[in-house]
Amino acid sequence: MPQSNESATIPTDSHSPPGRTKPSLLSNLGADLPASLVVFLVALPLSLGIAAASGAPIMAGLIAAAVGGIVAGSLGGSPLQVSGPAAGLTVVVAGLVAEFGWQVTCAITAAAGVVQLLMGVSRIGRAALAVSPVVVKAMLAGIGITIILQQLHVLLGGQAAGSAVENLAALPAAITNVELHSALLGLAVVVILLAWTYLPAMVRKVPGPLAAVVAVTALSVAVAPNVERISFSGSILDAVALPSLPDGNWRAAAMAVITVALIASIESLLSAVAVDKMGGSRTNLNRELVGQGSANMVSGMLGGLPVTGVIVRSATNVEAGAKSRTSAILHGVWVLVFSVLFAGLIQLIPMSVLAGLLLVIGAKLIKVADIRTSLRTGDLLVYAVTLVCVVALNLLEGVLIGLALAAVCVLWRVLRAQIHAHAPAGSGLPWRVTIAGSCSFFALPRLNRVLHSVPEGQDAVVELYADYLDHAFREALVAWQKQQRNTGASVTLEEHGTTAFTDAEDNKPQRQDPREFPLPPKTSWLPSGDDTTADDDGGRLPLRSILLGIDKYHRRHADKVRPLVQDLTEGQNPDTLFVACVDSRVNPNLITSSGPGDLLTLRNIGNVVCNDGRDASIDSALSFAVKGLSVDSIVICGHSNCGAMKAVIADFEGAGPALGTGFDSWLEHARPSYSALLSGHPVALAAAAEGYSRLDQLSMVNVALQLRKLEDHPVTGPALASGELQATGLFYDICTARVVLVTPEGIEQLDPSMAVRS
């Protein structure tokens, strides 16, 4: 049996077309080699700074960068993502080092890699994204604040404390005892990084972090030789250290493993999704977890920091023109080579220089746009609580509290329907009650309070925008409706949501009866003495229905439509003349998803075009559209079960409709279509093969003939011949609500690829 595509497909590298052979690692070397060098120059100072902030050996950052590039780059599911040590885990790692020591932290990193690997093999990669984005953003902001409070002490020449609260409390003393040279060097790095984006493009080709660290380090050798610098013994090979197991406290160690695994996974997957949006190929999230897990296993076993996908390096990789995973792998190779051959240069870097670099990194984690988004979406409370808890408590507890609060907020929004009563805006108008959201028995107290705020004997309209409506809520609403009607008032229920409101007595959908809803004072709607809305015999009240519809439009849509038509106040600029039949079942704007002002619509019986000068209305419309408004296209749209085409067939069969001489003469414009149908027009044959009736075949043939008339018309013909104008034929099948493309040669079912091709 053939295997499904999902199980058989192997993710290919970026830009590899489906079904083609997977490209080799060297196939895009011309683009990947320079990109890898750029990413290496960005990753080098960042890795050193993150290691310093984590309280880990400096070389642990370079080990993680090399392993992340080579291992995660080779095995991951996001070809353009670059992995390495990330600021998002700085606080966690610092806490683990303080609690367990460095070698046990390495064991925790390796164990977290195993957990990630199992998550990837279990194919739950997308499940790891089921975390509220506002919690993730608040977590990163909390980490940024923690890094800033920590590194301010280092920049000022002191030592950071164990927690953000302690660092904040000790900050005044650190400022008092500032070491001037150290502070100035750190501030110089901050100034260079902030000013880097404003420098000429040629200068900015050099990564800002690298330029700042190199320039200020060189300056420090000349003017401040005694400041504290990075210190270690040996090269990266000497820094390799095997992990060790904890001495007891296994429960805390297990919790640390889960914490590192989850945070590293979420950060990596979110980064991969962001890379996809920047132009990379779609990430295989499960494979990405396998790659990240493998990298963390290797990094932990070699004495490196935890590895995650890093958006800063990944974005740099994409912007530098990388085409495949070769760039990420080579970046890891360059880190390894530099660490082996030039380790001595690293020891020239002052600690305050890395502190200045980390201050900017931490500040970038706090995004004003995220705060604005959380305010706009109503998630500001979740954002603020998560941020404060991450800073004041610790990362794990802060995230768990944030997730719990986010879940409570979602539950609150689901259970709490929006119910409001609006007093009449004028004399004779009804009260409005708007109900939106999930309407369950939890909302009954609020429902009853709002409904009983409507005075007895007052007419009311209930606008129901519900996505869920349970039986208890329905009963309460119907009971109030009966009570209000018993006082002599009318109550109309209008549904605009996805539920089907039914009357409790007859279980039939409620429909609005125009006679139940009083119109506003006649003088505001109708000419004096016009009583056309009255119907004492119980018949339809069409004018009253129209006026009620206008009232609904004013209440529900006018404010939303106003911004769309602001630009059309002084004139129009349609791109298409849409020639349609007068049939009430055809709505041109609906079937073309067009907005106000997009279509110039011409409707007549049978959607015909007259090119013999016999109809000034159609000729003037064509002239106004083509010469006056310079439309780009003309559409002729017929439809199924067309009354005009029925009349044509009946006329030829000797049973023409008694609709007057004017209608009979108008049919002359459509009679050639019937002759073409009888002679076996290609459109008729194609429609017959698709199973369309003889009547609908005639409608399609009529569309094809009208397109031909446009080619011969003195106004549209030259524009079509020169390519300045396009003509398209459509057929709207009412029973299926589908649109068919009609050409002079046949018919074709519309699909999305047509729009792409055209």
pLDDT tens for 240-258 read 878 888 887 889 999 999 9
As given in the structure block, the two tokens for residue 575 are 């791109």
First-to-last C-alpha distance (Å) of the chain: 39
Burial letters for 87-108: b for 16+ Cβ neighbours within 10 Å, e otherwise? bbbbbbbbbbbeebebebbbbb
Statement: residue 637 has pLDDT above 90: yes
Query: Rounded CA gap, 404 and 135, in Å?
Result: 10
pLDDT number for residue 756? 39
HSE at residue 34, side-chain half, CA atoms within 13 A, is 7
pLDDT tens, residue by residue, 135-151: 878 887 888 898 888 88
Give the tokens for residue 607: 């959607």
| Rounded-to-integer distance, Cα 174 and Cα 161, Å | 11
Mean pLDDT, the chain, rounded, equals 82
Element (H, E) at 603: strand 599-604
Q: Is pLDDT above 80 for 547?
A: no
Encoding tokens for residue 735?
A: 């029973």
SS3 460: strand
- pLDDT (0 to 100) of residue 505: 43
Over range 560-564, report the average pLDDT: 79
CA angle 280, 284, 287 (to 5 degrees): 125
pLDDT above 70 as % of the chain: 86
- The pair of three-digit structure tokens given for residue 729, joined into one six-digit string: 């034929």
Q: Which are the contacts of 288, defined by CB distance < 8 A and separation ≥ 6?
A: 76, 77, 78, 81, 120, 125, 268, 269, 272, 309
Q: Are 141 and 389 in contact (CB under 8 A)?
A: no
- For residue 9, name the pLDDT band (cuts at 50, 70, 90): very low
> Worst-scoring range by mean pLDDT, 37-46, 110-119, 546-555, 714-723?
546-555
Kindly indicate the confidence band of residue 385, based on its pLDDT and cuts at 50, 70 and 90.
very high
Burial class (CB within 10 angstroms; exposed 0-12, middle 13-18, buried 19+) of 32: buried
- φ/ψ (deg, to 5) at 462: -105, 115
> 682 pLDDT band (50/70/90 cuts)?
very high
pLDDT of residue 498: 61
DSSP class of residue 571 equals: -
Q: Spell out the alpha helix ranges (H) of 530-658.
A: 542-556, 558-565, 588-591, 616-623, 643-652
Q: Rounded to whole angstroms, how far apart are CA atoms 449 and 405?
A: 28
The two tokens of residue 122 are 């279990």
* 660 vs 227, residue with greater confidence: 227
Q: With 60 as the cut, is the pLDDT of residue 656 above it?
A: no
Tokens 């390796």 sit on residue? 110
> pLDDT value at position 30?
77
Rounded Cα distance between 260 and 730, Å, is 58
How many Cα atoms within 13 Å fall on the side-chain side of residue 64? 37
Q: Which of 185, 141, 150, 188 is nearest to 169 (CA)?
A: 150
- The model's confidence at residue 45, banded by pLDDT at 50, 70 and 90, is confident
Q: How sure is the predictor about 622, in pLDDT bands with cuts at 50, 70 and 90?
A: very high
| Dihedrals phi, psi of 157, to nearest 5 degrees | 95, 10
CA–CA distance, 95 with 78 (Å, rounded to integer):
30
List the structure tokens of 262: 């989850």
Q: What are the structure tokens assigned to 153, written together?
A: 């002490």
Longest dimension (CA), the chain: 111
Query: Looking at the DSSP assignment, which residues form a beta bridge with residue 438?
Result: 468
What is the per-residue pLDDT for 279? 66
Q: For position 150, what pLDDT does the model report?
A: 83
Query: Which one, of 88, 85, 93, lies nearest residue 267 by Cα?
Result: 88
Residue 627: CB atoms within 10 A of its CB come to 11
Express the helix, strand and coil content of the chain in percent, nearest 5 each. Answer: 60, 10, 35
Give the pLDDT score at 397.
80
d(CA 592, CA 716): 22
Q: Is 208 exposed, middle or buried (0-12, 13-18, 19+ CB in 10 A)?
A: buried
Annotate 636-664 with b (16+ C-beta within 10 A) or e (fewer).
Answer: bbbbbebbbbebbeebeeeeeeeeeeeee
Using alpha carbons, select from 542, 524, 521 the residue that is nearest to residue 533: 542
Give per-residue pLDDT as tens, 467-525.
888 888 889 999 999 999 999 888 888 877 666 655 444 444 444 444 444 444 433 43
